Amino acid sequence: MKATLAPPGLLRLDAATAADLMAPNPISLRVDANVKEALTLLTDKSISAAPVIDDAGHPVGVLSRSDLLVHDREQPRHVGHAPGYFFEQETRSGRPVPEGFEIEDVDGTTVADLMTPAVFSVPLDMPAFRVVSEMVGLHVHRLFVVDECGTLVGVVSTMDILKRLHPA
């Protein structure tokens, strides 16, 4: 069975403001989160980027999967040369590492070190057509929505906009 599409024509954006378009309570990262936490969050939630917030909940940056990939590519990895490397090591307490366990090379880099420090945000009451214009003008896939105190309350993605388009 073949799906039929509506003939080309005008589309109507079924939203009045950024509040109507946004996904509320966006998943976010703390500035002090480490690379592994960020990668886990983005992967487990199947999102391509997340806002980075400070302790007050204000957006201070954005971290994307691309940021993590670039960081990973630029990180040298130095692991022992001998096959028995992991079993010859000691824990911090001086005890030998038990057989079957491995020592993980933990990356101490934080989200604050990798994030893009620019945050493109809009107020809740910004007209929907202006939200779209801002995204196009800034060449971004998402805008963050903040309340009157500057606290992150939502995100508008290109997918959120596409979901609200309907034939006129």
pLDDT in tens, 140-152: 999 999 999 999 9
Asked if residue 6 is part of any domain, the answer here is no
The Cα 135–Cα 140 span in angstroms is 5
**C-alpha atoms less than 13 angstroms from C-alpha of 8 in its C-beta half-sphere:** 0
Asked if residue 2 is part of any domain, the answer here is no
Asked if residue 19 is part of any domain, the answer here is yes
Domain of 26, CATH number, reads: 3.10.580.10
The range of the structural domain enclosing residue 102 comes to 12-167
Is 0.75 surpassed by the pTM of this model? no
Asked if residue 5 is part of any domain, the answer here is no
Asked if residue 26 is part of any domain, the answer here is yes
DSSP 8-state symbol, 78: -
**More confident: 80 or 26:** 26
Report how many domains make up the chain. 1
The Cα 36–Cα 121 span in angstroms is 27
Asked if residue 39 is part of any domain, the answer here is yes
Q: Output the six-digit token pair for 116.
A: 């893009």
The Cα 142–Cα 158 span in angstroms is 6
- Give 26-45 pLDDT, tens digit per residue: 999 999 999 999 999 999 99
- Give 11-27 pLDDT, tens digit per residue: 999 999 999 999 999 99
Asked if residue 75 is part of any domain, the answer here is yes
Residue entry with tokens 């990262």: 29
pLDDT computed for residue 45 by the predictor: 95
With CA atoms as reference, report the closest residue to 28 among 161, 163, 151, 167: 151
- Give 82-120 pLDDT, tens digit per residue: 445 544 566 666 777 667 666 566 678 999 999 999 899
Asked if residue 4 is part of any domain, the answer here is no
